[in-house]
Amino acid sequence: MAPPERPGGPSRLARVSRCLCFSASHRLHSKALSDEENQKLFGKCNNPNGHGHNYKVEVTVQGKIDPATGMVINLADLKDYMQEAIMEPLDHKNLDKDVPYFADVVSTTENVAVFIWENLQKRLPEGTLYKVKVYETDKNIVVYKGEEAVPKN
C-alpha cells in the first residue's frame, strides 16, 4: 500500500461521476425531411403526439485530487451544476416545444447529450468535464465527450 500523498508529492488525477434521472417527452421529426421520410426513418417515435422517456444521465468530471480536500470537485457543487444544466431546462418538459435549443435540432438522444454537455461546460470549471452519458432506455445509450466532427478534405 502506497503512503498517503504529502505536499510536494505527485499529483493524482481522478474521475468522478454523478447520476440523475429526468422525465421528458419528444417527437423525432426532422424539418429537413418530408412527413413520409420522417415516418419511415423514425417509425413510432415520429408519432405526432410524441412519446416520453425516463432518461438517466451520468456526468463524469476529471481533475487533480486536491491534497487539502481530497476531492476533484465538491459533489454538492456538481449536484447544483447538474440541477441548473439538466433538471431545470429538461425535467418534465416537451423537449421540442419547451426547450428552445430543440426548435431546429432533432431531439435525438445524441443531441440531448450535446445539449447537456454545452450547458454543463458553461458552469463547470474549465477543462473538468470529461463525459456525458445519456440512457434513453436500458438498451439505448449515448456517450458524448465534447468531440466535434473533423471535416473531410
Please tell me which residue in 21, 136, 147, 148 is annotated as part of the active site: 136
Does the annotation count 147 as an active-site position?
no
Q: Of 5, 19, 45, 84, which is the active-site residue?
A: 45
Q: How far is CA 4 from CA 1, 12, 62, in A?
A: 9, 11, 20
- Give yes or no: 136 in active site: yes
Contact 68, 49 (CB under 8 A): no
The helix (H) or strand (E) run that includes residue 14 is strand 13-26
Active site residue 110: no
Q: Which of 84, 92, 147, 148 is catalytic?
A: 92
Catalytic residues: 45, 92, 136
